[in-house]
Amino acid sequence: MSVLSQVWCRSLLLCSLLCSALIQLHARPANMSALREKNANTKDENEILPPDHLNGLKMEMDGHLNKDFHQEVFLGKEMEEFDEDSEPRRNRKKLIDIFTKVDFNEDKSVSAKEMQRWIMEKTKEHFQEAVRENKLSFRAVDPDRDGHVTWDEYRVKFLASKGLNEKEVAEKIKNNEDLKVDEETQEVLESLKDRWFQADSPPADQLLNEEEFLSFLHPEHSRGMLKYMVKEIVRDLDQDGDTKLTLSEFISLPVGTVENQQAQDIDDDWVRERKKEFLEVIDADGNAIVTMEELEEYMDPMNEYNALNEAKQMIAVADENQNQNLELEEILKYSEYFTGSKLMDYARNVHEEF
């Protein structure tokens, strides 16, 4: 947790310099995946390092809430097509097309059940995309193409992605020589090694095949690895060692050094969002304590009850006429929530395009 905290604190100082328009976003502390996305030089590392951000999950690998979750499970693969710089009319047409697909019974109104069905479909899309990406990543770390990867093979590729000479690293590992790496890299390696052996399905052979490697990169694909991911998150947040989370523990991730009002607003928004998620969603029995079992159910992307709950929350955001359904006009009006792209003059165009 210490490494992530240091990275986070540095990121917060940068956040405070952003323009005031960004403050209106649902802000939260930066995570490692966000930092890597901004650095083009880490592309190779991204291919073999398990991501903090797992599409379609409500929580990041490092315990942060996934601020893009509702957009990921509403847009699926089309999420990247919606851009603030895109032509509004084009985005509006895309959103209308999505609405017609979500409206399964074609009554021009989206119910919670229809939204739940759509969320499950989009979640499956994320699963399928992860499988496709895993095939490429597995080939990158399986140089002899024998269908299995050893920890040493993976370690060579990982350290090479960190800038070390691949041949020299491979030779040193082969000869059991010490590898001189910085403290941060060593800490990441130790964490990865533990996760590697967790992904090694019984009977353990210390080799990962393509399916096991998928569990290593994407623990949401394996119930056992999902439990491991929950265990890691609880370990980082649990302050009294009882393997349960209180509200104070859940909101106690460091929120940085507040130097101005903008930074204070970011911190306040972040705490407010975590409180709401803890009290209204994660704490299923309402006893102010979240167990590992509750957190696991919350993290499970294929949990249909969670999908229905998310559907109801998404509808509530835009349901202006309070009929527990969504009409096209409502989705277009609240387009920024569903797509991240704000559409202007929605009412003037809706009837002529739909």
Model confidence at 253: pLDDT above 70: no
Lowest pLDDT segment from 21-25, 58-62, 279-283: 21-25
Lowest pLDDT segment from 28-42, 54-68, 75-89, 206-220: 28-42
CA pair distance 42, 47, nearest whole angstrom: 9
Model confidence at 21: pLDDT above 80: no
Percent of the chain with pLDDT over 90: 58
Instruction: Please name the amino acid found at residue 344.
Output: M
- Residue 209 · residue 148 · CB < 8 Å: yes
Model confidence at 158: pLDDT above 60: yes
Supply the pLDDT for residue 114. 98
Place of tokens 């089309």: 78
Beta bridge partners of 149: 208
4: Cα separation from own chain's centroid: 16
Model confidence at 203: pLDDT above 50: yes
Beta bridge partners of 290: 245
Q: Residues 6 or more apart from 343 whose CB is under 8 A from it?
A: 88, 91, 92, 95, 332, 335, 336
Supply the pLDDT for residue 195. 92
Q: Please, what is the end-to-end C-alpha distance for the chain in angstroms?
A: 50
342: Cα separation from own chain's centroid: 23
Supply the pLDDT for residue 25. 33
235's tokens: 């370990």
